[in-house]
Amino acid sequence: MNYDTVRFLRRMFASYYKRAGLSMPRDFWMREWGFIPFGVKMMSRHRAFRSAAEIRSFLRENAPAHVFFSSAIYERPSAANMADKGWRGADLIFDLDADHIIDADHIIRGEISYDKMLERVKVETAKLMDFLVADFGIDERDIEIVFSGARGYHVHVCRDDVRALRNKERREIVDYLSASGLDSEFRSVDPGIGSEAWRHGGGWRRRIFRGLMDFFREIKRMDRDDAVKALCRIDGVGVKSAMKVVEFMAKMDDDAIEEWVARCMLDNRLRWIPGVHCRLIQDHAVSLRSMKPDAPVTSDIHRLIRMPTSLHGKTGLIVKPLSVKELDDFEPLEDAVAFSSDRTVRVKALKRNAVRMKGHEYAVEDGEEAELPVCAAVYFMCRGVAEICDAARGVG
């Protein structure tokens, strides 16, 4: 990124911070803030602000590429040493990033488009929401979903009772979401929790129950060949056993299947559908319903998180807060675009690249000079694939 580009981007970001309605995190004065300026790789950390006006004017004047604050609140947020800060608690924040959810190789090789990538992350985010609301009993109003400005979503849970959770306890939540350490036979669960309790009691037992029911109903609906194929996709299930399962299922109606699955789970014993280990199918149900093991990196209670409503310096997109309802229809490359598509600016491309923004496809070729709408130009410059031409002219 050359100096002219840095200056241009700084001016654009400053203009955004002048007009945008910035949202301040709860207790912002007790948080540590960190910034990465344009053209610099190092983060300047351990800053603290006493008023929202101070933060706004800092952003307007410095227009940093990246803005972060701590998920934690501290007694002395500006202390240079973690031990001196006086940790008072931390929000529970889940970081769902495409890098964790999708095989990194696919991303690097460009086998998956940006849209598709975000679509997959959205599915995981919806899964997380179900966990948080149904299992953890967290009110949707206490959950803030934030588009990260690049390849994922952050989910903030802002509640006093989760703030005090320590590292180890947060790790337990992550393990719960990813079903890691799940004793799928529930051997270790107190036998006192027998009877029908689990059907209503929640937890993984109920999730597995629902998962198995969905799976078998689906199998029953399919025609014979598809059903066998679907079963064979499960590790360890062969054609012969798959056919036996299909036959077994054909003899039963939905109620009978439900009873059968319930009995299987109640016994806590591995039952065989003639030919297939029920356990395999159960594991399959778990894998469909759990979150990717590394997806939510929530257990670090000192981490910095991107400020909602700030701009992401690698895309120029808004780090956009969303309500649960808005998530469904949210289109990052429409709804999180900060800059105008009417005015244009001249750039020189360093690498070939393309983006679909506000309904238009923008593409640049290696070495090409092009007149582009500001929003696309900023995106390419932030990505490091273009430099500004004719800096003096600025935005036309």
Interface with another protein in residues 123-162 (CB under 8 A): 134-138, 161-162
Tell me which of 36, 107, 189, 354 binds another protein, using CB under 8 A: 189
Written as one letter, the residue type at 163 is R
Cα 231 from Cα 93, distance rounded (Å): 37
Output phi, psi for 200, to 5 deg. Answer: -105, -15
Q: Is 186 near another protein (CB under 8 A)? A: yes
Q: Which candidate, 23, 24, 178, 12, places its Cα nearest to that of 96? A: 178
Q: Is 202 in the site for another protein (CB under 8 A)?
A: yes
Considering only 21, 110, 181, 274, the residue that binds another protein (CB under 8 A) is 181
Nearer to another protein, 210 or 383 (CB): 210
Q: How far is the CB of 295 from another protein (least distance, A)?
A: 15
Region binding another protein by CB under 8 A among candidate stretches 193-201, 226-234, 241-249, 257-265 = 193-201
* CB of 261 or CB of 378, closer to another protein: 261
Find the binder of another protein among 48, 67, 118, 179 (CB under 8 A): 179
Among 57, 113, 180, 287, binds another protein (CB under 8 A): 180
- Please tell me the count of residues contacting another protein according to CB under 8 A: 39
Which residues are catalytically annotated?
A: 95, 97, 294
Which amino acid makes up residue 287?
S
Q: Tell me 150's DSSP state.
A: S
Options 20-28, 111-119, 189-197, 252-260: segment touching another protein (CB under 8 A): 189-197
The one among 122, 151, 154, 205 contacting another protein by CB under 8 A = 205
Q: Please choose, from the candidates 130, 190, 119, 188, the residue with its C-alpha nearest in 3D space to the C-alpha of residue 155.
A: 130
User: 195 or 253: whose CB is closer to another protein?
Assistant: 195
Q: What share of the chain is helix, strand, coil (3-state, %, to 5)?
A: 45, 20, 35
Q: Show contacts of 52-60: CB within 8 Å, 24+ apart.
A: 52/22, 52/24, 52/28, 55/22, 55/24, 55/28, 56/17, 56/22, 59/17, 59/22, 59/310, 60/14, 60/17, 60/18
Smallest gap from Cβ 27 to another protein, in A, equals 19
CB 153 within 8 A of CB 122: yes
